[in-house]
Amino acid sequence: MVGGLALFLIGVVAPESPRWLMSRNRRADAAKETAKVQPDIDVDAQLATVESAIQQDGHTATWGEIFSRKWRQPLLIALGLAVFQQITGINAIIYYANQIFASAGFSTEISRATVTLWAIGGVNVLSTFIAIAFIDKIGRRLLLLVGLIEMGVSLAVVGGAFEFIAPTADAVATSGPTTAGIVTVVALVVFITSFAFSLGPVTWTVINEGFPAQIRARGVALATAVNWASAFLVSQFFLSLVDILGSTWTFWLLALFCALGWIWIYLRVPETRGLTLEKIQEMWAVKS
């Protein structure tokens, strides 16, 4: 309820989109909002560009057009980000946090519930504000790259810590978490923090910015479907991987995916900070 109320209040005070205002023939309001968000640009020239783009947006692309060479670059970026967001382990860790913390030596249900609430839930919510504060100041790419480095290192530390953690049955018999268990919790807090200011929110920002209006609905829908399919597969097989590889190698595998994601983003994902949707669309046209 609190979250829903907060979202409602933010929606009330959030500025209108100049593009939406232009589509409703409210040019004066669009000019006012544009000047608020981008005070240093030529507002009239910007609105003229938006108006021209709106006139071309009447055509809704078919699925065939979405997969055409023209839009291949933004589509591959969207799908790649959707996959890497999940195969680095976020939902598996959230879903199975109780079992992970039990293995780390948190033997009682109350201790596991408390550490899950604050180390996973609370940190996830609070750290998202880092992305809100810096996404338009330092850019999408830097947040993604820094976040993946921290995620990979923290997962590697978790994997190393599990080398010193007894199997669950022995851990439950202890009086509390061991030093290695505490290290696991701290490392997972770093992981959640890093995800919450990088791959979590920034992925969807880049995906939505990357598609032009005529294919955005289908493109984002496809990226969302791939994202949830990836989440299903990772969550479905996470415990099986733990049984087969052990906790240490499972977390090191997730760390490897972070490294692969970093390399892919560094090579393939352009910076879109400060670019209008029209400029981003022109960028794809140049690259295609």
Per-residue pLDDT, 172? 45
Which tokens go with 87? 């195969």
- Would you write out the chain's pLDDT as a tens digit for each of its 288 residues? 666 777 677 777 677 778 778 878 888 888 888 887 777 788 788 888 777 777 666 566 778 888 888 888 999 999 999 999 999 999 888 888 887 888 777 777 787 777 877 778 888 888 888 888 899 899 999 999 999 999 999 999 999 998 887 554 444 445 566 788 888 888 999 999 999 999 999 999 999 998 887 788 899 999 999 999 999 999 899 989 999 999 899 999 999 999 999 999 999 999 988 887 778 887 776 665
pLDDT in tens, 187-226: 999 999 999 999 999 999 999 998 887 788 899 999 999 9
List all residues 6 or more positions away from 42 whose beta carbon is below 8 Å from its beta carbon. none
Which tokens go with 187? 């490392």
Per-residue pLDDT, 169? 40
CA distances from 208 to 11, 205, 226 (A): 19, 5, 15
Per-residue pLDDT, 153? 97
CA dihedral over 132, 134, 136, 142, signed as positive or negative:
negative
DSSP calls for 33-68: HHHHH-TTS-HHHHHHHHHHHHHHTTSPPPHHHHTS
Q: Give all domains of the chain, ordered by start, each with its CATH number.
A: 87-287 (1.20.1250.20)
> What's the farthest any 2 CA atoms get from each other in the chain?
70
Per-residue pLDDT, 60? 67
Per-residue pLDDT, 187? 92
CA distances from 166 to 29, 101, 157, 158 (A): 63, 12, 16, 14
Per-residue pLDDT, 286? 63
List all residues 6 or more positions away from 252 whose beta carbon is below 8 Å from its beta carbon. 155, 156, 159
Per-residue pLDDT, 56? 64
Burial letters for 51-75: b for 16+ Cβ neighbours within 10 Å, e otherwise?
eebeeeeeeebeeeebeeebbebbb
DSSP calls for 83-142: HHHHHTTHHHHHHTHHHHHHHTT--SHHHHHHHHIIIIIIHHHHHHHHHHHHTTTT-HHH
Per-residue pLDDT, 126? 86
Per-residue pLDDT, 145? 97
The Cα 235–Cα 241 span in angstroms is: 10
